[in-house]
Amino acid sequence: MSESHVRRGCVKYLRDHEGCHIMAVENPLYPGTPDINGCARKDSVAVEFWVEVKYVAHVPKTLKLHHFTIKQKTFIAQRGHRINNTYLLLGIAGETLLLFKWADALLLDRTTIKMGYRKAIWTGEGTTNFQGMLDAIIQNQTT
């Protein structure tokens, strides 16, 4: 499994989800733009969101992500601070997915794996069902 595998799985699942429009983003003109942009409607609630995808091949002791760039952190902070719609999806060792709110994502380099599980707003297994992630995003933006 890899970062691109997690992104493809998420986009593929949510693309087929009724009420959701999602796309993978590659933006060479604006480095730091997250990997996924989407919008979804559930009941009478509509949300728009950005998701940066990261992956680590082994279960780490801390969640310091060496490939989480300053430009990515800046985008997440600026967008998240203004409209609370930016997340980080972390795949771990091909088994676990953790979704973090923007503010918690910015503090991952000081977070143990145990604390990461507590801070995550959604935890998933594998890359087959992202419904829980979408529900967590909608819940986060509407409460």
Q: Residue 56 phi/psi, 5° resolution?
A: -125, 135
Alpha helices by DSSP H, 16-130: 70-83, 102-105, 113-119
Q: Would you say residue 18 has pLDDT above 70?
A: yes
Q: Would you say residue 37 has pLDDT above 90?
A: yes
Distance CA 82, CA 96 (A): 29
pLDDT 10s digits, 73-112: 999 999 999 999 999 999 999 889 999 999 999 999 989 9
Distance CA 100, CA 17 (A): 21
Q: Would you say residue 31 has pLDDT above 80?
A: yes
Domains of the chain, by residue range, sit at: 3-142
What number does CATH give the domain 3-142?
3.40.1350.10
**Do 133 and 124 meet the contact criterion of CB atoms below 8 Å apart?**
yes
Report the pLDDT value the prediction gives residue 127, as an integer from 0 to 100: 63
